[in-house]
Amino acid sequence: TVFLSQSWKFTAPVYIGDTITAEAEVTSVHATKPVCQLMIKVTRQTGETVLEGEAWCYTFGRRVDRVPNP
């Protein structure tokens, strides 16, 4: 996977000793190209969001199936 573009907003500082967790959700899939959009969220151990944003990714010809939201 290659990032085609990304837009991130750093919402809080991260300090030495913090434990951070990154989550990415596929929010859209191109109908005819191996390209998808991700929403990104990074939180610290307290649950505070330290980064949020979006990215567009190219998946090197692998099919990205559309999966209905549960």
**Cα–Cα distance, 25 to 4 (Å, whole number):** 16
Kindly report the CATH number assigned to the domain that includes residue 26: 3.10.129.10
Q: Is residue 68 part of a domain?
A: no
Burial of 14 (0-12, 13-18, 19+ CB in 10 A): middle
**Cα–Cα distance, 70 to 68 (Å, whole number):** 6
pLDDT at 56: 96
| Average pLDDT of the segment spanning 24-29 | 93
What is the DSSP secondary structure assignment for residue 52, as one 8-state letter?
E
- Which residues, other chains included, contact 52 with Cβ-Cβ below 8 Å and sequence gap of 6+? 8, 9, 11, 39, 40, 41, 42
pLDDT band at 69 (very low <50, low <70, confident <90, very high): low
At 11, list the tokens.
């919402």
By residue range, what is the domain housing residue 35? 2-58
Q: Is residue 66 part of a domain?
A: no
Report pTM.
0.77
Number of independent structural domains in the chain: 1
Q: Is residue 67 part of a domain?
A: no
